[in-house]
Protein backbone atom coordinates (compact mmCIF):
# COMPACT_ATOMS: atom_id res chain seq x y z
CA UNK A 1 0.00 0.00 0.00
CA UNK A 2 1.28 3.49 -0.85
CA UNK A 3 -0.21 6.74 0.49
CA UNK A 4 0.85 10.12 -0.96
CA UNK A 5 0.92 13.38 0.97
CA UNK A 6 1.55 17.03 -0.01
CA UNK A 7 4.90 18.29 -1.32
CA UNK A 8 7.35 19.89 1.07
CA UNK A 9 10.82 21.36 1.02
CA UNK A 10 13.57 18.82 1.71
CA UNK A 11 17.35 18.82 1.89
CA UNK A 12 18.90 15.91 -0.03
CA UNK A 13 22.46 15.04 1.02
CA UNK A 14 25.11 12.77 -0.45
CA UNK A 15 28.69 12.70 0.85
CA UNK A 16 28.43 16.21 2.34
CA UNK A 17 26.88 17.83 -0.73
CA UNK A 18 23.38 19.21 -0.07
CA UNK A 19 20.54 20.21 -2.38
CA UNK A 20 17.19 21.76 -1.40
CA UNK A 21 14.01 21.23 -3.43
CA UNK A 22 10.35 20.17 -3.19
CA UNK A 23 9.43 16.50 -2.87
CA UNK A 24 6.20 14.63 -2.25
CA UNK A 25 6.17 12.47 0.86
CA UNK A 26 4.56 9.06 0.83
CA UNK A 27 4.35 6.01 3.01
CA UNK A 28 4.78 2.37 2.02
CA UNK A 29 3.73 -0.61 4.05
CA UNK A 30 4.20 -4.23 3.16
CA UNK A 31 6.13 -7.44 3.60
CA UNK A 32 9.71 -8.09 2.54
CA UNK A 33 11.62 -11.35 2.17
CA UNK A 34 14.79 -11.08 4.26
CA UNK A 35 16.44 -13.95 2.30
CA UNK A 36 16.66 -15.81 5.60
CA UNK A 37 13.41 -17.70 5.41
CA UNK A 38 11.70 -14.94 7.37
CA UNK A 39 9.21 -12.38 6.07
CA UNK A 40 9.59 -8.93 7.61
CA UNK A 41 6.86 -6.29 7.81
CA UNK A 42 8.03 -2.78 6.93
CA UNK A 43 6.72 0.73 7.29
CA UNK A 44 8.84 3.05 5.17
CA UNK A 45 8.71 6.66 4.03
CA UNK A 46 9.03 7.24 0.30
CA UNK A 47 9.81 10.51 -1.46
CA UNK A 48 8.86 11.41 -5.04
CA UNK A 49 10.64 14.11 -7.03
CA UNK A 50 12.12 14.75 -10.50
CA UNK A 51 15.32 12.71 -10.89
CA UNK A 52 16.93 15.80 -12.46
CA UNK A 53 16.89 17.42 -8.98
CA UNK A 54 19.87 15.30 -7.90
CA UNK A 55 21.69 15.03 -11.24
CA UNK A 56 24.35 17.48 -10.05
CA UNK A 57 25.50 14.89 -7.48
CA UNK A 58 27.24 12.87 -10.21
CA UNK A 59 25.18 9.70 -10.29
CA UNK A 60 21.65 10.99 -10.94
CA UNK A 61 19.99 8.14 -9.05
CA UNK A 62 19.51 7.83 -5.28
CA UNK A 63 22.06 5.70 -3.43
CA UNK A 64 21.69 3.78 -0.19
CA UNK A 65 23.04 5.99 2.58
CA UNK A 66 21.93 9.31 1.04
CA UNK A 67 19.81 11.33 3.48
CA UNK A 68 16.73 13.50 3.28
CA UNK A 69 16.06 16.09 5.97
CA UNK A 70 12.71 17.83 6.28
CA UNK A 71 12.11 21.39 7.45
CA UNK A 72 10.79 19.93 10.73
CA UNK A 73 14.18 18.25 11.32
CA UNK A 74 13.22 14.65 10.58
CA UNK A 75 16.06 12.71 8.94
CA UNK A 76 15.39 9.84 6.52
CA UNK A 77 18.07 7.53 5.12
CA UNK A 78 17.81 6.00 1.65
CA UNK A 79 17.69 2.21 1.90
CA UNK A 80 17.33 -0.86 -0.28
CA UNK A 81 14.41 -3.26 0.18
CA UNK A 82 14.95 -6.94 -0.64
CA UNK A 83 18.37 -6.13 -2.17
CA UNK A 84 16.68 -4.07 -4.92
CA UNK A 85 17.54 -0.55 -6.02
CA UNK A 86 16.56 2.05 -3.41
CA UNK A 87 14.28 3.77 -5.94
CA UNK A 88 11.71 3.28 -8.67
CA UNK A 89 11.52 5.37 -11.84
CA UNK A 90 8.33 6.33 -13.61
CA UNK A 91 7.71 5.06 -17.14
CA UNK A 92 9.64 7.94 -18.74
CA UNK A 93 12.46 8.16 -16.12
CA UNK A 94 11.39 11.68 -15.16
CA UNK A 95 10.26 11.17 -11.58
CA UNK A 96 11.88 8.93 -8.99
CA UNK A 97 10.32 7.33 -5.91
CA UNK A 98 12.99 6.93 -3.23
CA UNK A 99 12.68 4.35 -0.43
CA UNK A 100 13.77 5.67 2.97
CA UNK A 101 13.50 4.97 6.67
CA UNK A 102 13.27 7.62 9.38
CA UNK A 103 16.58 7.47 11.22
CA UNK A 104 16.52 10.51 13.48
CA UNK A 105 15.93 14.19 14.02
CA UNK A 106 18.18 17.23 14.12
* CATH code for the part of the protein at 2-105: 2.40.10
Residue 82 has pLDDT above 80, yes or no: no
Residue 1 has pLDDT above 60, yes or no: no
* Average pLDDT value for residue range 52-73: 95
Q: What is the pTM of this model?
A: 0.82
Residue 8 has pLDDT above 90, yes or no: yes
Residue 69 has pLDDT above 80, yes or no: yes
- Contact residues for 86 (Cβ-Cβ < 8 A; gap 6+): 62, 63, 64, 78, 79, 80, 98, 99, 100
How do the domains of the chain map onto residue ranges? 2-105
Q: What is the mean pLDDT of the chain?
A: 86
Q: For residues 76 and 84, which has the higher predicted lDDT (pLDDT)?
A: 76
DSSP-assigned letter for residue 90: -
Amino acid sequence: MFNVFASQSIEYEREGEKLTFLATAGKSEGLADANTGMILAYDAADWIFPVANIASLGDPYPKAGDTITTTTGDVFTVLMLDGQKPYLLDEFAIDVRVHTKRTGTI
